[in-house]
Structure 1
Amino acid sequence: MESSHSIELAKHILLSFGLILGVGTFFSIVANKLKVPDVVMFLLVGLCMGPAALGLIDIRADSTLNQLILIFGSCYILFDGGASIKLKVLKEVWVSLVVMATIGVLISTAITGVAAYYILGLAPIVALLLGATIASTDPATLVPVFRQVKIKERVAQTVMSESAFNDAMGAIVTFAVLGVAMGQGEFSLSHAVGDLLWQSALGVLVGGIFGYLAAMFIAHEKMSFLAEYAPIVSVMAVIGAYMGADGAHASGFMAVFVFGIMLGNKEMFGFKMEHGEEAKLEDYVLTTGLMMRMFIFILLGAQVDFALINQYLVGGVIVVVLFMFVARPATVFLCAGFDRRAKWSFKELLFMCWTRETGVIPGALAGMLVGMKAPGAEIIASVTFIAILMTIIIQATTTKWLASKLGLLEEA
């Protein structure tokens, strides 16, 4: 009987995967025709296919399978985003990047927490926990959007890099506040900053090591014995960088992002692949990245709890509106507006205020809080999903339009 149950479960999962790939491919074509980011279509499709609607896909958010898809999919999308980053561009904007990815998260947390305290009537520590949960931006959303919408290089790469680097800070602040909320200690700014520096530095180190080794084995003049297996090497290194950093209590997401940066800038380190092998690797990464987006966002949409969202809908929407129109602009202008080196224009700052979608990482944090039975976990999960839906559907779909209005689109 147990064997039969296992077989039936395997068939159910296989059918779900087939549906995700088939429907995802169709709506990817639709997204291209409509000129909208495909992640928006995938999220809407997921909402329709989940248990609350058609019931075609039912993979629990707390299941091992779902966590595997979320972790590996997010890692691979981060790797893809890192590979598109040019180090020479980041040299101009590193001050803004570092400040937004650290202090900026604290600013967003504080402003959103105050809004939640007054509007939702939460206890101060629970309101702050909500702010911390949704404070970080989402690379799994932003990287695909900027793959499809060609924004001026330094703006796009600053936003993508911030979204990767601020995940560590968002997680650290969330769990620091959680410790206080559950009576496990008091918040220590010095400890939080030290923890951030440790996770960041170690994540960069691990990602750098894996990136250098991968570049050497696939692109070194004499040691590139794995050049024909570059796609396999990239997958192995993504897993290795994440697990290596995570095992050392560092940011696995930062490690895979840095690994992508190293591989994408391998020419700067004296490594150069043959044109045919380079094209094969790029095609593989683009195709695999598309599949990961299908799985992540269709599943994310399918797992939305409409009953929970409806319970806190009005207050949650107001908090998210303030989050989008007050917290994010304050973060951008306070953190990047005074960067004399970058010399941001008002239009560039305005665009960065609008591009800060919430997605996989905040969703995962909210899910963990529910699993840990943290104070106010249900309302935090509700507002988090409202933020995911509003920012992806509203902001991601208008990215190209806004960039065009502000004159920030790259010339074709």
Structure 2
Amino acid sequence: MEHHLSLLLISIIALGVFSQWIAWWLRMPAIVLFLVSGVVAGPVLGWMHPSEDIGPVLSPIVGLAVAVILFEGGLSLRLHEFKEAASGVRRLVTLGSMLAWGLYSTAAYLVGALSLPVSLLFGAILVVTGPTVIIPMLRQAGLNRRTASYLKWEGIINDPIGALLAVLVFQYFVLSGAYPGGGAQVFFELGLAILISLALGGGVAWLLGWAFNHIWVPEYLKAPLTIACVLVIYGLASEIFAEAGLLAVTVMGMVLGNMNVAGMAELRRFKEYVTILLVSSVFIVLTADLDPKVLRHLDWHAAALVAVVLFVARPVAVFLATMFTDMEWRDRLLVGWIAPRGIVAAAVAGVFAPTLIQAGYGGAQQLLPLIFAIVFASVILHGFSLGRIARWLRLSVEPNGVLIVGASPWSTELARALSNELHVQVLLVDSSWHRLRTARLAGVRVLYGEVLSETIQQSLELNEIACMLAATSNDAYNALVCSHFSNSLEHDRVFQLPMYAADENNDSKVVARPLRGRPAFDESAQYEELWRHHFQNWQFYKTKLTENYGYDDLKRDRSPEAIPIAVLHDDKTLLLSPAAGGARPDIGDTIIYYAPKRTDEDRRRARAERAEAASIRSAAGNGASEESDKESS
């Protein structure tokens, strides 16, 4: 039995993680692969039955996982993002939630033919637009920060609100049916639970932040202590009122995430790793545990209800809730369509449905299959359409820009060549207004300030950045900048100017290799050397490779001293050239390199060499043709 359980847990984790990786490789929503993997492993092939194999401990495990996921979601909610989308978010999580509940419940009662209590519970559950689904979708869709903030804030805040609303409806009908006055008791308990949850979550988060900043907790214990506090707060709040723990941990994450806590970047990174593992595993478990028999309760009423919820009720609720706000019509259109449901909706329905069935409420046996049908439909439809609709509405940001940190004469000229001549998005950042003057006058987009400051971090749109170059005169500072941005841009897209070989051979005088970015361009492209080349009138050149003029021809024609800079692909994506050499450029790519200024003699020599090479190729081709003619004769 223990051996079987070990294999089951290994299979669940492996399926979840490999689904994430395959989804990234195929550039498709990971949540779709979670659902497919779980259904195939569970109901289709029967390899796993989590509720039978794991037993009654499965439900508490899922609850704890959801608590950690919601905490991580709250941790990612930044107040500066809320200010950008403030009025829209406030409407979505208040008036929008109430309108959605009313419209979903009405549709369930009139279209789905459910009883009124079950309809109200159905509508409350669907208020939840799960962050476990939204956040992976946003990671792949490339939305601009404002539009992404609407979906992220709504999903994370509505998750506990929807769960509490579902608990309220459930408890109201159960208690009011058990004894008179039960409804009033539920409202009193709910209000008390919300106050206690806010106090618990916010208070513990403030105490944790205070302890971290006053060095009461060592670095290696910050993440474990935080997770332990999340689980304790979830358990305490849930004991006071069912599902109140979800609200408490969400508030805890929001408060802690907006405090200036030392080591917050490491904490966020650790939480993100844990959340990715939990999200994938929980989705595999829930879908693998789905009983095919429950689908037999679905009929045409169910299909019509799913269509009304997705295509009518959600868009109408968002449109009415966001009237007279500063939300653009494109944002309202996208948010009105995108509302995938996930773990919390499925888990809450799975908990309440058996009790309602035992109580004899009409349509209770359809609650769970209906929720799962909407989960499947919304995840698949919204997951595959989000990126396309965002591009159609021009709400997505293509990651083809370059972030250059450090404005020197050389980096300014590089920025000018890329932005003005090749039309590549370039952002040049420096803490000296004087050093940015030349770039500003040349029409280059600049950002004045310390790139590692909180203010600059809030204003940076990293979704549009494909790669970053740290090009200041301080190697240690370049390494610090690369270490910071490698979490967001991937390590292979973060570059810094190379250090001198003499320093590379002396471990006591060089920044450790794991803490640095990738060396850019060429081993001789140090800051001082590039500065010297700039005043020797070196220039940036660009050459597009064709069938008649390939990469070997370019290497032969350009100066032996030339330094490769970047490759610009047809889709305008620019990749900086690593010092160790990258993939061989293809036909259609534009090569950018830095070389001494060409003289007229150099141009004549290059033309002569190209003509000679062309004649040699032509002669070789004619010779092969004649040989072929002889053989055929």
Q: TM-score category by the smaller chain?
A: 0.7 to 0.9
In the TM superposition, residue 294 of structure 1 has moved relative to its aligned partner by: 1.8
* Equivalent position to 1:253, from 246, 250, 256: 246
| Shift in Å, 1:87 | 0.8
Aligned to 1:4: none
Aligned to 2:47: 56
Asked if the contact 1:180/1:187 (under 8 Å) is kept, the reply is no
Q: In structure 2, how many angstroms separate the alpha carbons of the residues matched to 1:316 and 1:394?
A: 17
Residue among 392, 397, 400 paired with 1:405: 392
C-alpha distance in 2, partners of 1:121/1:186?
28
Does the CA-based 8 Å contact 1:49-1:55 persist in structure 2? Answer: yes
2:379, 2:223 → 1: CA distance?
A: 30
Superposed, 1:27-38 pairs within 5 Å as 27-38=19-30
User: For 1:128-184, what per-residue CA distance to the aligned partner results, in whole angstroms no more than 9, with x for missing partners?
Assistant: 332223232212222332344332223323322222322344334434443565534
Change (3 A) 1:252 1:338: farther
The amino acid that maps onto 1:260 is: G
Shift of the alpha carbon at 1:18? 0.5
The structure carrying a bigger helix percent of its residues is: 1
Deviation at 1:95, TM superposition (A): 4.4
Between the aligned partners of 1:186 and 1:106, the Cα distance in structure 2 is 26
Deviation at 1:94, TM superposition (A): 4.1
Structure 2 Cα separation of the partners of residues 202 and 338 of structure 1: 34
Give the superposed CA RMSD: 2.7
Q: Distance in 1 between matches of 2:192 and 2:318?
A: 25
Deviates more, 1:89-98 or 1:79-88: 89-98
2:89–2:150 Cα contact (<8 Å) kept: yes
| Mapped partners of 1:199, 1:150: distance in 2 | 38
Match of 2:274 among 279, 285, 288: 288
Structure 1 residues 215-242: Cα deviation after superposition (integer angstroms, max 9, x where no partner): 2333x1x424322222212211221231
* Contact map agreement 1:309 1:385 (CA 8 A) in 2: no
Is residue 2:338 matched to residue 1:355?
yes
CA deviations 1:382-408 (Å, max 9, x no partner) are 111101111111112322222222222
Alignment of structure 1 residues 238-317 onto 2, 5 Å: 238-249=230-241, 251-267=244-260, 271-273=261-263, 278=264, 280-317=266-303
Q: Could you tell me how far 1:89 is from its partner in structure 2?
A: 2.0
Q: Report what 2:207 is aligned to.
A: 213
Sort the Cα spacing of 1:298 and 1:210 in 2 relative to 1 into closer, same or farther, 3 A.
same
When residues 403 and 203 of structure 1 are mapped into structure 2, their CA distance, relative to the original with a 3 A threshold, is farther
Query: Aligned pair in 2 of structure 1 residues 257, 178: CA closer, same or farther (>3 Å)?
Result: closer
Asked which structure has the greater CA Rg, the reply is 2
**Equivalent in the alignment of 1:70:** 62
The Cα of 1:188 is off from its aligned counterpart by: 9.9
Paired letter, 1:286? E
Trace 1:94-113 onto structure 2 (pairs within 5 A): 94-113=86-105
Q: Which residue in 1 is equivalent to 2:221?
A: 229
Aligned to 1:330: 316
Q: How does 1:79-158 map to 2 (within 5 A)?
A: 79-158=71-150
Identity rate, percent: 25
Q: Show structure 1 runs of 5+ residues with no match.
A: 1-7
Amino acid at match of 2:270: Y
Structure 2 Cα separation of the partners of residues 58 and 394 of structure 1: 27
Whose relative contact order is higher, 1 or 2, with alpha carbons under 8 Å and at least 6 apart?
1
Query: Greater shift after overlay, 97-106 or 36-45?
Result: 97-106
Partner secondary structure for residue 286 of structure 1 = helix
Check 1:286–1:227 CA distance in 2 against 1; reply closer, same or farther (3 A cut). same
1:234-289 per-position Cα deviation (integer Å, ceiling 9, x unaligned): 2112212312332343721122222222332222xxx333xxxx554344222211
- CA displacement at 1:292 relative to structure 2: 0.1
Which region of structure 1 is more displaced relative to structure 2, 64-73 or 169-178? 169-178
1:312 is displaced (CA, Å) by: 0.9
Q: Structure 1 stretch 203-212 or stretch 91-100: which is displaced more?
A: 91-100
Structure 1 residues 407 and 237 mapped into 2: Cα distance closer, same or farther (>3 Å)?
farther
Query: Do the aligned residues in 2 keep the contact of 1:168 with 1:196 (CA within 8 Å)?
Result: no
Query: C-alpha separation between the residues in 1 aligned to 2:97 and 2:364?
Result: 20
Per-residue deviation, 1:22: 1.9
Offset of 1:346 from its aligned partner? 0.5
- For normalisation by structure 2, the TM-score amounts to 0.57
Q: Match for 2:367 among 377, 380, 383?
A: 380
Specify whether residues 165 and 197 from structure 1 end up closer, same or farther in structure 2 by C-alpha distance, changes over 3 A only: farther
Q: C-alpha distance in 2, partners of 1:212/1:120?
A: 46
Residue 346 (1) aligns with residue 329 (2): yes
What is the CA–CA distance in structure 1 between the aligned matches of 2:118 and 2:251, rounded to whole Å? 33
Contact 2:88 / 2:327 at 8 angstroms: preserved in 1? no
| Runs of 5+ unmatched residues, structure 2 | 398-463, 466-633
Q: Which has the higher strand share?
A: 2
Alpha-carbon separation, structure 1, partners of 2:287 and 2:21: 19
| Aligned counterpart for 1:167 among listed residues 159, 163, 171 | 159
On the 8 A contact 2:129/2:159 being kept in 1, the answer is yes
SS at match of 2:50: coil
Cα distance in 2 for residues equivalent to 1:189 and 1:317: 33
Q: CA 1:54/1:173 → structure 2, altered by over 3 Å: closer, same or farther?
A: same
- Could you tell which deviates more after superposition, 63-72 or 35-44? 63-72
Which amino acid in the other structure matches residue 203 of structure 2? I
CA shift in 2, pair 1:264/1:300, >3 Å? same
Q: Deviations over 1:12-71 (max 9, x none)?
A: 221111011222222221100111222221111000001x21111111189433213321
- The letter for the 1-side match of 2:282 is I
* Counterparts in 2 of 1:326 and 1:124: CA distance versus 1, 3 Å: same
Distance 1:306 1:252, change over 3 A: same
How far apart are 1:198 and its partner, in Å? 4.4
TM-score of the aligned structures, taking structure 1 as reference length: 0.85
Alpha-carbon distance in structure 1 between the residues aligned to 2:170 and 2:164: 10
Closer/same/farther in 2, CA of residues 74 and 176 from structure 1, 3 Å limit: closer
Instruction: Supply the distance in 2 between the matched residues of 1:187 and 1:154 (Cα, whole angstroms).
Output: 45
Counterpart in 2 of 1:202? 196
